[in-house]
Structure 1
Amino acid sequence: MTDAFYPFLLLLIGGLLGASLNYFQYGFSSSFRNLMVQQRTAGVRALLWMLALAVLLFTPILAWQPFAPFLPLDHWGAQSHQGFIRPLSLAVPVGAFLFGIGMQIGCGCTSGTLNRVGQLQPLSFITLLFIIVGGTLAAFSFTHWQSWPTLNAVAFQTTFGVLPGLVIQLALFFGLYKGLLWLEHQRHHHIEPLISTPLNAHKRRLTLHPFLLAGLALALLNTLLLLVLGSPWAISGAFVYWGTALIELFSLPIDWRYWDYTLENATRLQQVWYQNPVVLTTVGLVLGALAVTLLHPTPRVKVTRSGFLASVMGGTIMGVGAVMAAGCNIGALFSGIASGSLHGWLWLVFALLGNGVGVYLKQRFFNKP
């Protein structure tokens, strides 16, 4: 496979990710909101299926590198498969908490916002713009929060061993899954199934919930991305890239080249867009969601003053939180946990707390015409 083919392959994988989100109508923020407001758990249970499958697929790839000889070695810079295993900085829980607030106020996380851009929802363009603004502001203030207390990175496979670490993570998923089933049954005396076998006139047919299909598809596609690129799915890095590009485009009096964030991430920020894998997959996500929208148009959400303000505030808070936490619901939660990194679990805990605050603020201040 030639190196010139990789941009198209990454666009394709990103397109399949966006098409999966749009076609199956899956969203992280709506799943968390349904859990907190209604104790409906189908979305979060599908998330656990997604994480469990991703951990099962990521673990042998990261541990034994069976496909490393097939990775591109030119400007993509990949020499082995590397997961997202990050230090346990104080910036992770703070950023995750802020991100959780923002994703509920703005009615969508980063992947959800990009999905709705592909659906041509007017407010999603405002949310995306201010995610970029927030991410760029966080990059500007990099020196301040980067110096916060930090513990060394912890990965299940290195701390406990590959197989024990895998078993521990699967046990965590199982325990959480059983807890969600109990919660929904306590509230509704009925559990919305993710897998069902309804009877028809001819045969018993296995039926999978759209959320479960979305989760399984995203896990497989993230693994494919890990295989061909050497690193898993990420989104938040694209926001600072676009923010600095906008500064250049409009000749704003901001000397971003000498930010500490820029110096530490110089390689990615100086790449042209078709050489930046995060930008490629992110653009692909929007195009994939757009393709589904063209085939199955989505009703437009009416633009209101409160909706506009929510998009501005939620987007800005999300952008700040995503960059501070070294990832959003994709790079930190999904790819972090799939990589076996403890920081992904830390992100999840504090993002859930932030979601709780965000749900309250949304209901209190932004559910108005």
Structure 2
Amino acid sequence: MSLAGIAPPATTRPHLLAFLGGLAACLLVLLAILPLADGALPGVFAASLLLGVGFVLLDFGFAGSFRALLERGDGRMTGASFAAPAVAALVILPMAGLAEGYGRFVAPVGLSLVLGAALFGIGMQIASGCGSGVLVAAGQGSRRMAVALPFFCVGGVVGSLLLPAALRLPSLGTLDLVAWFGPWGGLLVTEALLALAAAAVLRGAWPGWSALRRAAIIGALAALLFLASGMPWGITTGLTLWAAQPAQWLGADLMAHEFWQVPWAQAALAGPLLASHSSLANLGLMLGAFLAAAARGQLRHGVALGWRGAAGAALGGLLMGIGAQLSFGCNIGAFLGGASSASLHGLAWFLAVLPGCWLGIRLRAAFGLQRRSTDP
């Protein structure tokens, strides 16, 4: 995600009517979720709204930082981003290990993850946005992300059909630091590994307190969402449901496929869309970004999008959706959620996404995008 690199807003005047419309939309969502049986939903929605506001106000992202790292060797923003899972882990690991009702993201490290993360990296660069970036920029009114978002959702469904076969590819299995060292030992090892990974990316450079502070705030807000939801923040499941439920309504028998025969997937597919924590959090992230952008006069609906940009957004969104399913999440669910859960698949995802980003950067010009990052 690179909010600064998409395009400058046409005006910085607050959009009062848009802001009021966003508040009305938030009220409608609250009215829709209050009758549902899950008492965690209002907290999930509130925390995701704060995340959307935070991403806009902090101008925090991932896609541009990967370009800076791979093109210029500038790892300051990427290195600083490791502060997000480091902060979130301070809450997630003790709570998941010691408190009832809280869990973690633990996934296997294998070819499925490697292939999926690489696909995601390609898509992230040619769409010019990551999992969180697509939602945040779409909330700000970006035409590019309005194209990428539905294709991400469709890609998630395609990936769900491919995942059972991908899971049969060679794998090391789960590499869970909590299982090896316990909650507190797992936390210490997790923080040490994140610090070492950041140091390797930074290579002696200093990211600056501002970059570290922004990443830490995102990590703290992710921890807040975890406290409300009971699970780390994830995006892919919700986006997949946004395409899967309409497909089911139109007659596609998704429940005949292996992925959708798992009890939680069946329940999510058959239940209300806003009852899914991931789906609700995605909507909250977009609305929070919309409110922040409207208040600051930074709505992006006026930025033109040519056919090459639309093609890149569509293809990038599709690849991100497929890749996120195969790699057990995007930059949020796999990297931030996995690393903060003391599962080594989070750091493995980070390594595996780099070759995909490298290739995607070299394809950007074909879709009318600058190759080099313009992020600070």
TM-score interval, normalised by the smaller of the two chains: 0.7 to 0.9
Deviations 1:306-347 (A, max 9, x none): 211110110110000011112111111101100000111111
Residue in 2 that maps onto 1:133: 154
Runs of 4+ in 1 over 6 A off after TM superposition: none
Residue in 1 that maps onto 2:240: 240
Distance in 2 separating the partners of 1:367 and 1:177: 28
Residue in 1 that maps onto 2:188: 167
Q: Is the 8 A contact 1:236 1:322 kept in 2?
A: yes
Distance in 2 separating the partners of 1:15 and 1:235: 14
Q: Is the 8 A contact 2:139 2:290 kept in 1?
A: yes
Deviations 1:256-305 (A, max 9, x none): 22121111221222220221111111100000000011111225432122
Distance in 1 separating the partners of 2:108 and 2:72: 35
Q: Is the 8 A contact 1:24 1:213 kept in 2?
A: no
Residue in 1 that maps onto 2:27: none
Residue in 1 that maps onto 2:77: 43
In the TM superposition, what is the alpha-carbon distance from 1:164 to its structure 2 partner? 3.6
Residue in 1 that maps onto 2:8: none
Q: Does 1:314 align with 2:334?
A: no
Q: Does 1:257 align with 2:271?
A: no
Larger Cα-atom Rg: 1
The correspondence of residues 181-192 of structure 1 with structure 2, limited to 5 A, is 181-182=202-203, 184=205, 191=206
Distance in 2 separating the partners of 1:308 and 1:224: 35
* Residue from 25, 40, 61 that aligns with 1:27: 61
Question: After alignment, is 34-43 or 290-299 more displaced?
Answer: 34-43
Deviations 1:100-135 (A, max 9, x none): 111011100111000011110111110001101111
Say which SS state the counterpart of residue 151 (structure 1) adopts. strand
In the TM superposition, what is the alpha-carbon distance from 1:5 to its structure 2 partner? 4.6
In the TM superposition, what is the alpha-carbon distance from 1:364 to its structure 2 partner? 5.4
Distance in 2 separating the partners of 1:230 and 1:8: 13
Change (3 A) 1:245 1:23: same
Q: Residue type matched to 2:241 in 1?
A: Y
Say which SS state the counterpart of residue 192 (structure 2) adopts. helix
Note the residue ranges of structure 2 that are not aligned, 5 or more in a row: 1-33, 371-376
Change (3 A) 1:122 1:63: same
Residue in 1 that maps onto 2:49: 15
Say which SS state the counterpart of residue 84 (structure 1) adopts. coil
Residue in 2 that maps onto 1:356: 358
Distance in 1 separating the partners of 2:347 and 2:120: 15
Deviations 1:211-242 (A, max 9, x none): 43331222112212222221110010012211
Distance in 2 separating the partners of 1:283 and 1:91: 28
Distance in 1 separating the partners of 2:245 and 2:304: 30
Distance in 2 separating the partners of 1:175 and 1:221: 23
Q: Is the 8 A contact 1:39 1:183 kept in 2?
A: no
Distance in 1 separating the partners of 2:89 and 2:44: 21
Change (3 A) 1:178 1:148: closer
Say which SS state the counterpart of residue 74 (structure 2) adopts. coil
Q: Residue type matched to 2:244 in 1?
A: T
Q: Residue type matched to 2:41 in 1?
A: P
Residue in 1 that maps onto 2:130: 109
The correspondence of residues 289-300 of structure 1 with structure 2, limited to 5 A, is 289-298=289-298, 299=300, 300=302
Residue in 2 that maps onto 1:194: 208
Q: Is the 8 A contact 1:136 1:244 kept in 2?
A: yes
Deviations 1:186-221 (A, max 9, x none): xxxxx5x422xxxxxxxxxxxxx1x43331222112
Residue in 1 that maps onto 2:4: none
Question: After alignment, is 18-27 or 159-168 more displaced?
Answer: 159-168
In the TM superposition, what is the alpha-carbon distance from 1:357 to its structure 2 partner? 1.4
Residue in 2 that maps onto 1:76: none
Residue in 1 that maps onto 2:31: none
Deviations 1:235-257 (A, max 9, x none): 100122111222245x2x53222
Distance in 2 separating the partners of 1:241 and 1:167: 35
Q: Is the 8 A contact 2:47 2:228 kept in 1?
A: no
Change (3 A) 1:104 1:267: same
Q: Is the 8 A contact 1:119 1:297 kept in 2?
A: no
Q: Is the 8 A contact 2:124 2:357 kept in 1?
A: yes
Say which SS state the counterpart of residue 148 (structure 1) adopts. coil
Distance in 2 separating the partners of 1:30 and 1:176: 19
Question: After alignment, is 289-298 or 142-151 more displaced?
Answer: 142-151
What is the number of residues matched between the two proteins? 332
Say which SS state the counterpart of residue 309 (structure 2) adopts. helix
RMSD: 2.2
In the TM superposition, what is the alpha-carbon distance from 1:183 to its structure 2 partner? 5.9
Distance in 2 separating the partners of 1:177 and 1:342: 15
In the TM superposition, what is the alpha-carbon distance from 1:145 to its structure 2 partner? 1.9
